[in-house]
Amino acid sequence: MYKWMIIGGGIQGSCVASRLLSEKKVTQEELIIIDPHAEPLERWRHTTGKIGMDYLRSPVVHHLDTNPFSLKQYASKHDYAASFRGQYKRPRLDMFNEHCLDLMEETGVMNCWKQGTVNRLSKTKNGWEVELDDASCVTSEKVILAIGVNHVPFYPECMDKYKKEESITHVFDMNHQLPDSGDVIIVGGGMTAGHLACTLSSNKNIQSVHLIKRHPFRINRFDSDPGWLGPKYMDGYHNVTSYKDRRLMIKEARNRGSVTKDLYKKIKKYERNGDLKVHTGDIKDMIETNGRFRLELQGGKVLEGSAVVLATGADIKMPGKSWIDPVIKEMNLPCAPCGFPVVSKSLEWKQGLYVAGALAELEIGPVARNIAGARKVSERITQFA
């Protein structure tokens, strides 16, 4: 039996794992990380690479190491050119990824890795047991649920029936490749859609690129105001005892569907050059005929393309719902009206079951899903470990 089991090896799970190991709260032999992919952060690296992200939105101090200056020192040590960009020194994506993987190697996270998909979680007399897709079972005294939200992409209602079509894909879908020719229509208005629009617009083999967004561009430097990282806003947040009100505060605090000023300027450049057409409005209907898609917007405008790519984010559901729901019912785990966990200050849900990422946001606040949130979660869990 392991001492700690982390389900999910993305940004959240890897951050917690490296901190537990570096602070010697657990040995490599006592820790296991279960993830569907072969390496840490594989989904993150795949998606950000696919859309052509070059620099992160978050600043230099937001990374997975405990030392806040670690990434800056890493850039200097490895002599990266143009390591950071802008006032807040946003790091190069490739450098950030290499820093993460080197950290995973140094702290021993790679030695605790087990590739597999969890099908069942259950409480045992001395801890917890998970059953994997190969029917094997793993037991541990404590479990951390670090499941990302991007496993369930959001499809607009009018496109739901086309999920299985090869010509329509979602950027969060690991199995579908982006189109490399034809007339491409992108749906979405946030950072992911913006990066993707610029990447496809620079591809000379693609005849045309259209970007459809529901609202005018929203320009914000970060996902949420930096005040949510500390007492400025979090003191008031923790004084709110209604989890329904906390959910509303999280929703209002997040700059969903927004882009940075740099990315906005880049999008406008492609638009001025005629490589990108931008449209604002809701999609009324979509019809596929003989491999061509016809999208009608509210107001009557009609667009046609050979491929549709969705950058519409994740479905608004609790991650891991299919195998977490039975545990919630069996153990009567406390949940808020939105269905998400109500946890203690240590992020413990009940009897050695802990949460990270989106599952921890009713305690951590609006930044929970981000890199800064991963740092906060890892600090909180190791503090009480």
> Which pLDDT does position 158 carry in this prediction?
79
> In the numeric block, which tokens belong to residue 141?
């005294």
Nearest of 300, 348, 372, 365 to residue 145 by alpha carbon: 348
Q: How many CB atoms lie within 10 A of CB 284?
A: 14
2: confidence class by pLDDT, cuts 50, 70, 90:
very high
Residue 91 identity (one-letter amino acid)? P
> In the numeric block, which tokens belong to residue 354?
């802990």
- pLDDT, mean over the chain: 94
> In the numeric block, which tokens belong to residue 241?
């005892």
161: confidence class by pLDDT, cuts 50, 70, 90:
confident
CB distance 27 to 112 below 8 Å: no
- Per DSSP bridges, beta strands 206-213 and 302-305 are unpaired
Residue owning tokens 């620079």: 202
- For 129, counting Cβ atoms within 10 Å of its Cβ (0-12 exposed, 13-18 middle, 19+ buried), the class is middle
Helix axes 93-107, 70-77, angle to 10 degrees: 100
> Which pLDDT does position 145 carry in this prediction?
98
What topology is assigned to 157-220+255-310 in CATH? FAD/NAD(P)-binding domain (3.50.50)
Q: Which residues contact 231 (CB under 8 A, 6 or more apart)?
A: none
Mean of pLDDT values over 45-56: 96
Q: Give the separation between CA 73 and CA 266, rounded to whole angstroms.
A: 29
> Which pLDDT does position 176 carry in this prediction?
82
Residue 135 has pLDDT above 90, yes or no: yes
> In the numeric block, which tokens belong to residue 87?
């006032």
Mean of pLDDT values over 154-161: 81
Least confident of 19-23, 113-117, 282-286: 282-286
What Å distances lie between residue 25 and 31, 70, 288, 299, 379, CA to CA? Answer: 10, 21, 55, 59, 12
Mean of pLDDT values over 286-296: 90
In the chain, % helix, strand, coil (3-state, to 5) comes to 35, 25, 40
Backbone angles phi, psi at 241, to 5 degrees: -95, -15
> Which pLDDT does position 70 carry in this prediction?
97
> Which pLDDT does position 74 carry in this prediction?
98
> Which pLDDT does position 121 carry in this prediction?
96
- Per DSSP bridges, beta strands 128-132 and 118-123 are antiparallel
pTM of the model: 0.94
In CATH, what is the architecture of 2-151+315-384? Answer: 3-Layer(bba) Sandwich (3.50)
The domain segmentation of the chain, as residue ranges, is: 2-151+315-384, 157-220+255-310
290: confidence class by pLDDT, cuts 50, 70, 90:
confident
- 130, containing H or E segment: strand 128-132
- For 296, counting Cβ atoms within 10 Å of its Cβ (0-12 exposed, 13-18 middle, 19+ buried), the class is middle
Nearest of 121, 76, 89, 99 to residue 18 by alpha carbon: 99
Mean of pLDDT values over 71-93: 96
Q: Give the separation between CA 105 and CA 100, rounded to whole angstroms.
A: 9
> Which pLDDT does position 321 carry in this prediction?
86
> Which pLDDT does position 303 carry in this prediction?
96
Mean of pLDDT values over 247-261: 95
212: confidence class by pLDDT, cuts 50, 70, 90:
very high
> Which pLDDT does position 157 carry in this prediction?
82
> Which pLDDT does position 318 carry in this prediction?
82
Q: Give the separation between CA 117 and CA 329, rounded to whole angstroms.
A: 22
Residue 137 identity (one-letter amino acid)? C
> Which pLDDT does position 154 carry in this prediction?
87
Q: Give the separation between CA 206 and CA 181, rounded to whole angstroms.
A: 4
* 306-337 residue pLDDT tens: 999 999 998 877 888 889 999 999 999 999 99
Residue 289 has pLDDT above 90, yes or no: no
> In the numeric block, which tokens belong to residue 284?
């009324």
Mean of pLDDT values over 62-79: 97
Residue 287 has pLDDT above 80, yes or no: yes
> Which pLDDT does position 224 carry in this prediction?
95
* 328-367 residue pLDDT tens: 999 999 999 999 999 999 999 999 999 999 999 999 999 9
Q: What is the 3-state secondary structure (H, E, C) of 232-260?
A: HHHHHHHHCCCHHHHHHHHHHHCCCCEEC
> Which pLDDT does position 320 carry in this prediction?
87
Residue 174 has pLDDT above 90, yes or no: no
CB distance 284 to 324 below 8 Å: no
Q: Do domains 2-151+315-384 and 157-220+255-310 have the same CATH topology?
A: yes
Q: Give the separation between CA 294 and CA 76, rounded to whole angstroms.
A: 50
* 137-152 residue pLDDT tens: 999 999 999 998 887 7
Residue 166 has pLDDT above 80, yes or no: no
Residue owning tokens 């785990």: 333
> Which pLDDT does position 101 carry in this prediction?
97
Least confident of 17-31, 36-50, 289-303: 289-303
> Which pLDDT does position 153 carry in this prediction?
86
Mean of pLDDT values over 292-314: 93
13: confidence class by pLDDT, cuts 50, 70, 90:
very high
